[in-house]
Amino acid sequence: MSDKSLQRYDRQMRFAPLGEAGQTRLAQGRALVCGCGALGSVVANTLVRAGVGFVRIVDRDFLELNNLQRQVLFDEQDVADGMPKAIAAANKLRQINSAVTIEPVVTDVTHRNVAALAEDVDVIVDGTDNFAVRFLLNDYAVKHGKPWVYGGTIGAEGQTMTILPGETPCLACLLPEAPPPGTTPTCDTAGILGTIVGVIASIEANEALKILSGHSDTVSRKLTVIELWDNRLRQVDVSRLREQSNCRVCRHGQFDWLTGKLGSTSAVLCGRNAVQLSPPEGAAMSLDALTARLAGVGQVTRNQFLLRLSVDDCVLTVFPDGRTIVSGTDNLAAARTLHARYIGS
């Protein structure tokens, strides 16, 4: 790397623990930001500005106006254009740092594609909004010895923990089972403040920067829990948890999410009054053919990345990977009915 290309990182290289050596390692580092909503957009923004060489941004969703309050990479034009979050994020971040290779992927992370998305990165950072994907990432990370950073927020509260497989406890050590759907608060029920998102995502990004710059030894060994509205900060010592727990993943090597034994391909989306319907393996959708087929059925709009059909008080958004997000209902059966009626299987 030439001196000129390092100039933009001057202020962070002056931070002694990082230095020029750490910066050079960052440039060779590869990160997967899994989910690019509130947490993910802060994480991706931080990693790209810091000069991480390769950042893959995966997100399954498109932008809505009520995202802008906390999803800092996006603007009103992105919403008006109906952009998928991964694409909008990549477009913005390429303008910010052209030296970073940014790879947006518009898809749902499943047991079928997690290896392809994660095998060539050095760290996985959690920007998801659901435990199904987190447990899948955890299974993959522990099985393949890949560091990953868990983070979650709701209301004004958030928590984060860094997992170094084989060294620190994993998410399943901490939380043996994923909470059943409908039992935990969501952005819909408890709301979400942009402030806690910024705090938790910055901690996550900071942990990723330590790992990518060769400072895994300084990674936190604690579960950090922050309640921002009441100014409560708590760090829970989890250093013995791996030995003490009878972990399905670490101790018994049962990767039930990774094998597909656990997890569902269809899901009610957090805080969205929407349902995602996923196709069988390998299915793809020709948006051109579908546009022609839907002529006269309802109001159809489309861009390069998705097609949108407004019909029966719902909006069906169809992606080329075969997924459909049905907005306007949180009822899985109703969403499936609409999908069968207008999109077909």
Beta carbon of residue 249, minimum distance to Zn ion (angstroms, whole number)? 5
Rule CB under 5 A: is residue 247 a binding residue for Zn ion?
yes
Binding window for Zn ion (CB under 5 A); candidates: 185-193, 201-209, 242-250, 322-330: 242-250
Select 246 or 345, whichever has its Cβ closest to Zn ion: 246
Site size toward Zn ion, by CB under 5 A: 6
Beta carbon of residue 165, minimum distance to Zn ion (angstroms, whole number)? 9
Q: Which of 55, 88, 208, 250 binds Zn ion (CB under 5 A)?
A: 250
- In the DSSP assignment, the letter for residue 266 is -
Select 132 or 142, whichever has its Cβ closest to Zn ion: 142
15 vs 29: CA distance, rounded Å: 19
Rule CB under 5 A: is residue 170 a binding residue for Zn ion?
yes
Rule CB under 5 A: is residue 249 a binding residue for Zn ion?
yes
Footprint of Zn ion on 171-210 (CB under 5 A):
172-173
Select 139 or 207, whichever has its Cβ closest to Zn ion: 139
Cα end-to-end span (Å), the chain: 51
Rule CB under 5 A: is residue 161 a binding residue for Zn ion?
no
Alpha-carbon dihedral sign for residues 250, 251, 257, 258:
positive
Alpha-carbon distance values, 214 to 18, 29, 123, 211 (Å): 9, 10, 12, 5
Beta carbon of residue 259, minimum distance to Zn ion (angstroms, whole number)? 16
Select 123 or 250, whichever has its Cβ closest to Zn ion: 250
317 vs 148: CA distance, rounded Å: 31
Beta carbon of residue 245, minimum distance to Zn ion (angstroms, whole number)? 6
Q: Which two tokens mark 163? A: 């997992």
Sheet holding 324-327, edge to edge: 267-269, 274-277, 324-327, 314-318, 307-311, 299-302
Environment class of residue 291 by beta-carbon count within 10 Å: exposed (0-12), middle (13-18) or buried (19+)?
Answer: middle
Count of alpha carbons within 13 Å of 285, Cβ hemisphere only?
24
Binding window for Zn ion (CB under 5 A); candidates: 13-21, 51-59, 170-178, 204-212: 170-178
Rule CB under 5 A: is residue 141 a binding residue for Zn ion?
no
Environment class of residue 18 by beta-carbon count within 10 Å: exposed (0-12), middle (13-18) or buried (19+)?
Answer: buried
Beta carbon of residue 232, minimum distance to Zn ion (angstroms, whole number)? 27
Beta carbon of residue 217, minimum distance to Zn ion (angstroms, whole number)? 20
Beta carbon of residue 254, minimum distance to Zn ion (angstroms, whole number)? 10
Rule CB under 5 A: is residue 102 a binding residue for Zn ion?
no
Q: What is the CA radius of gyration of the chain?
A: 20
- Find where tokens 């393949």 sit: 144
- Find where tokens 């209902």 sit: 329
Q: Which residues bind to Zn ion, rule: CB under 5 A?
A: 170, 172-173, 247, 249-250
